[in-house]
Chains A and B, each alone.
Chain A
Amino acid sequence: MATSKRRKPQADENPQYSSEELLKFYREMLLIRRFEEKAGQMYGMGLIGGFCHLYIGQEAVVVGMQNALIKGDSIITSYRDHGHMLATDMDPKGVMAELTGRAGGYSKGKGGSMHMFSREKKFFGGHGIVGAQVPIGTGLAFGHKYSGDGNINVCYLGDGAINQGQVYESFNMAALWKLPVVYVIENNKYAMGTSQHRASAGELCERGSAYGIPGHVVDGMSVLAVKEASEDAVAHAREGSGPVILEMKTYRYRGHSMSDPAKYRTKEEVTKMRTEMDPIDNLKKLLLDTSAADEDALKAIDRDIKAIVAEAADFATQSPEPDPAELWTDILVEA
Chain B
Amino acid sequence: MPIEVTMPALSPTMTEGKLAKWLKQVGDDVKSGDILAEIETDKATMEVEAVDEGKLGKILVAEGTEGVAVNTPIAILVGEGEDADKLETPEVSDDTQKSAALQKVKGEEETKPTLPVEPPPGAKAAPPASDEDKYFEKTVKLTVREALRDAMAEEMRRDDKVFVMGEEVAEYQGAYKVTQGLLAEFGDRRVIDTPITEHGFAGLGVGAAFHGLKPVVEFMTFNFAMQAIDHIINSAAKTLYMSGGQMGCPIVFRGPNGAASRVAAQHSQEYSTWYAHVPGLKVVAPYSASDAKGLLKSAIRDPNPVVFLEHEILYGHSFDVPEDPEFIVPIGRAKIMRAGKDVTITAFSFMVGQALAAAERLAEQGIEAEVINLRTIRPLDTETIVNSVKKTNRLVSVEEGWPFAGIGSEMSALMMEQAFDYLDAPVYRVHGADVPMPYAANLEKLALPQPEDIEKAVKAVLYRS
A interface, CB within 8 angstroms of B: 37-38, 40-47, 49-51, 74, 76, 105-111, 115-119, 124-129, 132, 134-144, 146-147, 153, 165-166, 169-170, 172-173, 176, 253-254, 258-259, 261, 263, 274, 310, 313-314, 317-318, 321, 324-325, 327-333, 335
Q: From residue 196 to 243 of chain B, which have CB atoms closer than 8 A to chain A?
A: 197, 199-213, 230-231, 234-235, 239-243
Binds A, one of B39-47, B263-271, B287-295, B439-447: B39-47
9 tightest CB-CB pairs across the interface, nearest first?
A139-B207, A44-B8, A169-B200, A135-B203, A143-B211, A259-B11, A317-B100, A108-B244, A136-B207
- Chain A residue numbers with a CB within 8 Å of B7 are 44
Q: In chain B, what residue has the closest Cβ to A138?
A: B204
Cα of A146 to Cα of B14 in the assembled complex, Å? 49
| CB <8 Å contact, A110 and B195 | no
| CB <8 Å contact, B245 and A108 | yes
- Chain A residue numbers with a CB within 8 Å of B205 are 139
- Chain A residue numbers with a CB within 8 Å of B120 are 325, 328
Would you give 11 A-B contacts (Cβ < 8 Å), ordered by A? A38-B51, A45-B104, A136-B210, A139-B204, A139-B207, A140-B208, A142-B211, A169-B199, A261-B44, A317-B104, A328-B116
| CB <8 Å contact, A139 and B32 | no
- Residue B304 interfacial (CB < 8 Å): yes
| CB <8 Å contact, B107 and A332 | no
B interface, CB within 8 angstroms of A: 6-12, 14, 32-33, 41, 43-49, 51, 70-71, 96-97, 99-101, 103-104, 107, 111, 114-116, 119-120, 122-123, 163, 189, 194-195, 197, 199-213, 230-231, 234-235, 239-248, 250, 279-280, 282, 301-304
Whole-angstrom distance from the CB of A136 to the nearest CB of chain B?
4
| CB <8 Å contact, A47 and B197 | no
| CB <8 Å contact, A136 and B8 | no
Whole-angstrom distance from the CB of A118 to the nearest CB of chain B?
7
With A37-B32, A136-B235 already in contact, the answer to whether A170 and B242 are too (CB < 8 A) is no
Whole-angstrom distance from the CB of A155 to the nearest CB of chain B?
9
B96 in complex: contacting residue of A109, A139, A317, CB < 8 Å: A317
With A317-B96, A324-B114 already in contact, the answer to whether A143 and B208 are too (CB < 8 A) is yes
| CB <8 Å contact, A106 and B244 | yes
Residue of B7, B9, B115 most packed against chain A (CB within 10 A): B9
With A37-B51, A49-B12 already in contact, the answer to whether A111 and B116 are too (CB < 8 A) is no
| CB <8 Å contact, B235 and A110 | no
| CB <8 Å contact, B204 and A135 | yes
| CB <8 Å contact, B115 and A333 | no
| CB <8 Å contact, B195 and A330 | no
Count: A-B pairs, CB below 8 Å: 237
Whole-angstrom distance from the CB of A104 to the nearest CB of chain B?
10
- Chain A residue numbers with a CB within 8 Å of B12 are 49-51, 258-259
Cα of A74 to Cα of B207 in the assembled complex, Å? 11
Whole-angstrom distance from the CB of A296 to the nearest CB of chain B?
18
Cα of A47 to Cα of B399 in the assembled complex, Å? 48
Taking A117-B243, A139-B209, A330-B240 as known contacts, 4 extra A-B pairs with beta carbons closer than 8 A to each other, sorted by chain A number, are A106-B246, A136-B204, A140-B210, A146-B189
- Chain B residue numbers with a CB within 8 Å of A74 are 211
| CB <8 Å contact, A137 and B11 | no
- Chain A residue numbers with a CB within 8 Å of B279 are 331
Cα of A50 to Cα of B301 in the assembled complex, Å? 37
- Chain A residue numbers with a CB within 8 Å of B49 are 37, 40, 254
Q: In chain B, what residue has the closest Cβ to A37?
A: B51
| CB <8 Å contact, A263 and B44 | yes
- Chain A residue numbers with a CB within 8 Å of B245 are 108, 329-330, 333
B206 in complex: contacting residue of A110, A126, A135, CB < 8 Å: A135
| CB <8 Å contact, A132 and B235 | yes
- Chain A residue numbers with a CB within 8 Å of B244 are 105-111, 330
Cα of A49 to Cα of B280 in the assembled complex, Å? 25
Q: In chain A, what residue has the closest Cβ to B38?
A: A261
Whole-angstrom distance from the CB of A35 to the nearest CB of chain B?
11
- Chain B residue numbers with a CB within 8 Å of A124 are 207, 210, 247
Cα of A124 to Cα of B210 in the assembled complex, Å? 8
Residue of A132, A136, A333 most packed against chain B (CB within 10 A): A136
Whole-angstrom distance from the CB of A157 to the nearest CB of chain B?
13
| CB <8 Å contact, A132 and B230 | yes
Cα of A19 to Cα of B304 in the assembled complex, Å? 48
| CB <8 Å contact, B101 and A47 | yes
B6 in complex: contacting residue of A40, A44, A325, CB < 8 Å: A44
Q: In chain A, what residue has the closest Cβ to B279?
A: A331
| CB <8 Å contact, B231 and A135 | yes
Whole-angstrom distance from the CB of A166 to the nearest CB of chain B?
5
| CB <8 Å contact, B242 and A110 | yes
- Chain B residue numbers with a CB within 8 Å of A253 are 33
- Chain B residue numbers with a CB within 8 Å of A106 are 243-244, 246
Q: In chain B, what residue has the closest Cβ to A146?
A: B213
Cα of A42 to Cα of B10 in the assembled complex, Å? 11
- Chain B residue numbers with a CB within 8 Å of A47 are 100-101, 104
| CB <8 Å contact, A173 and B242 | no
| CB <8 Å contact, B51 and A147 | no
Whole-angstrom distance from the CB of B255 to the nearest CB of chain A?
18
Whole-angstrom distance from the CB of B401 to the nearest CB of chain A?
24
| CB <8 Å contact, A45 and B235 | no
Q: In chain A, what residue has the closest Cβ to B12?
A: A50
Q: In chain B, what residue has the closest Cβ to A117?
A: B243
B33 in complex: contacting residue of A116, A274, A333, CB < 8 Å: A274
Whole-angstrom distance from the CB of B440 to the nearest CB of chain A?
34
| CB <8 Å contact, B96 and A132 | no
Whole-angstrom distance from the CB of A300 to the nearest CB of chain B?
17
| CB <8 Å contact, A144 and B71 | no
Cα of A51 to Cα of B111 in the assembled complex, Å? 23
| CB <8 Å contact, B116 and A146 | no
- Chain A residue numbers with a CB within 8 Å of B230 are 129, 132
Residue of B114, B163, B189, B201 most packed against chain A (CB within 10 A): B201
| CB <8 Å contact, B242 and A318 | no
- Chain B residue numbers with a CB within 8 Å of A314 are 96
B41 in complex: contacting residue of A51, A259, A333, CB < 8 Å: A259
Cα of A136 to Cα of B232 in the assembled complex, Å? 12
A170 in complex: contacting residue of B189, B203, B209, B234, CB < 8 Å: B203
Cα of A44 to Cα of B96 in the assembled complex, Å? 14
B51 in complex: contacting residue of A40, A126, A128, A321, CB < 8 Å: A40
| CB <8 Å contact, B51 and A132 | no
Q: In chain B, what residue has the closest Cβ to A136?
A: B207
| CB <8 Å contact, B280 and A332 | yes
A143 in complex: contacting residue of B101, B119, B207, B280, CB < 8 Å: B207
With A132-B235, A146-B189, A146-B213 already in contact, the answer to whether A44 and B10 are too (CB < 8 A) is yes
Cα of A144 to Cα of B116 in the assembled complex, Å? 42
